[in-house]
């Protein structure tokens, strides 16, 4: 069983050697352990540092594509290079690499397809109270969105079986953590959590640099993913609310009409009509989005089979360098 440990990087030449020094070369249940770095258009010498410090393969973008794109490129390359398990970690060494054996164990034993490293963010003293609250709130929302029992939704320390990795096809570019959980749920893959220790930060988080910017981007990502993967969960309640408000707006006119005096309620009639028409439009948007989701499901299954064929005929990964 071949295990690939992948690390998405953006200008990580300074911190990458310390991270690589902690990575294992042998793991229980693995015949081979390979290291893969995805250089997301770095302007420093991240690629050269990676290769000089023992990384087996580097996938390099000529310009920055975003964390989710780097993660997806790593998954694709690892699969084409023969990975049976793909472990994702960060370049800043925030995740304790000694937990990797525990992370892959459920997959090796066949009890899980995806394993998420749980940092227990509520007890991380380095995080501010606001950040701990937002992490917990975000995880609760993602649990409802995805229908999974994930304990740390924003953790990037994850392990995927080959079958699970084949079914990851990301659309977002900002972060892969949320969308991949939705896809895991849709594919009916088994997910479990493993408690992991968190190392002290060596630099500020690039995703959590500005709290409100992070919240805004994550909120937009969740809404976009909800529309793409759970459209009727969003559009149907919104449509019902608009119908209800339209009925409330019509109430004065209905009461007056029932009493034989339906004059003087033009505003109520117009407002109610606008709200009801809006409700119908929102419902139609939901039906269209739901139809698109069904088509996407078929496309995803087709893509899964195409990727299987690519792997069987040995299609090599693109834009990658191998350590000599």
Residue 308, pLDDT score? 80
| 279 touches 242 (CB < 8 A) | yes
Stronger pLDDT, 5 or 212, i.e. the higher one: 5
Strands lying side by side in the sheet with 57-61: 191-195, 114-118, 158-161, 85-88, 2-9, 32-40, 57-61, 320-322
Its CATH class, for the domain covering 2-229, is alpha beta
Average pLDDT over residues 81-93: 93
Q: Domain locations in the chain?
A: 2-229, 231-305
Residue 281, pLDDT score? 96
Q: Is the pLDDT of residue 197 over 80?
A: yes
- Of 43-57, 129-143, 158-172, least confident by mean pLDDT is 129-143
Q: Count CA atoms within 13 Å of residue 130 on its CB side.
A: 6
Q: Is the pLDDT of residue 222 over 90?
A: no
Q: Is the pLDDT of residue 215 over 80?
A: no
* Token output for 56: 């087996």
Average pLDDT over residues 280-301: 88
User: Could you tell me the CA-to-CA distances from 77 to 5, 48, 70, 114, 312 in Å, in that order?
Assistant: 12, 19, 11, 18, 14
CA-wise closest residue to 317 among 50, 106, 6: 6
- Of 80-94, 139-153, 204-218, least confident by mean pLDDT is 204-218
Distance (Å, whole) CA 225 – CA 278: 23
C-alpha angle 74-78-83 in degrees, rounded to nearest 5? 150
| 118 touches 153 (CB < 8 A) | no
CA-wise closest residue to 34 among 12, 10, 14, 59: 59
| 230 touches 292 (CB < 8 A) | no
Query: For residue range 138-159, what is the model confidence (pLDDT) as tens digits?
Result: 788 888 877 888 999 889 999 9
From the CB of residue 24, how many other CB atoms can be counted at a distance below 10 Å? Answer: 16
Q: What is the 3-state secondary structure (H, E, C) of the chain?
A: CEEEEEEEECCCCCCHHHHHHHCCCCCCCCCEEEEEEEEECCCCCHHHHHHHCCCCEEEEECCCCCHHHHHHHHHHHHHHCCCCEEEECCCCCCECHHHHHHHHHHHHCCCCCEEEEECCHHHCCCCCHHHHHHHHHHHHHHHHHHCCCCCCCCCCCEEEEHHHHHCCCCCCCCCCHHHHHHHHHHCCCCEEEEECCECCCCCCCCCCCCHHHHHHHHHHHHHHHHHHHCHHHHHHHHHHHHHHHHHHHHHHHHHHHHCCCCCCCHHHHHHHHHHHHHHHHHHHHHHHHHHHHHHHHHHHHHHHHHHHHHHHHCCCCCCEEECC
Average pLDDT over residues 223-234: 82
Stronger pLDDT, 141 or 193, i.e. the higher one: 193
In this prediction, residue 211 has a pLDDT band, given cuts at 50, 70 and 90, of low
State the chain's mean pLDDT as an integer.
Answer: 86
Distance (Å, whole) CA 38 – CA 59: 5
């Amino acid at each position: 069983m071949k295990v690939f440990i992948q690390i998405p990087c953006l200008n990580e030449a300074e911190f990458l050697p310390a991270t690589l020094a902690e990575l294992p070369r042998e793991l229980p249940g693995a015949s081979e352990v390979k290291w893969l770095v995805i250089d997301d258009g770095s302007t420093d010498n991240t690629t050269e540092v990676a290769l000089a410090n023992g990384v087996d393969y580097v996938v390099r973008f000529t310009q920055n594509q975003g964390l989710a794109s780097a993660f997806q490129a790593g998954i694709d390359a690892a699969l084409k290079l023969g990975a049976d398990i793909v472990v994702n970690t960060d370049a800043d060494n925030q995740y304790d690499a000694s937990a990797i054996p525990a992370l892959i164990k459920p997959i090796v034993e066949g009890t899980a397809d995806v394993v998420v490293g749980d940092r227990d963010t509520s007890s991380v003293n380095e995080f501010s109270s606001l950040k701990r609250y937002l992490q917990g709130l975000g995880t609760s929302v993602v649990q409802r969105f995805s229908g999974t029992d994930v304990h740390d939704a924003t953790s990037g320390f994850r392990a995927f079986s080959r079958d699970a990795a084949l079914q990851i096809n990301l659309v977002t570019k900002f972060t892969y953590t949320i969308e991949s959980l939705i896809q895991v749920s849709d594919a009916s893959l088994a997910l479990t959590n493993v408690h992991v220790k968190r190392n002290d930060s060596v630099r500020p988080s690039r995703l959590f640099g500005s709290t409100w910017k992070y919240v805004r981007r994550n909120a937009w990502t969740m809404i976009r993913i909800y529309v793409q993967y759970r459209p009727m969960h969003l559009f149907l309640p919104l449509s019902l609310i608009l119908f209800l408000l339209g009925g409330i707006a019509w109430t004065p006119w209905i009461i007056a009409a029932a009493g034989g005096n339906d004059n003087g309620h033009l505003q109520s009639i117009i407002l109610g009509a606008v709200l009801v028409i809006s409700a119908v439009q929102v419902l139609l948007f939901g039906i269209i989005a739901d139809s698109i989701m069904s088509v996407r499901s078929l496309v995803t299954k087709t893509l899964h089979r195409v990727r299987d064929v690519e792997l069987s005929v040995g299609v090599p990964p693109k834009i990658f360098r191998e350590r000599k």
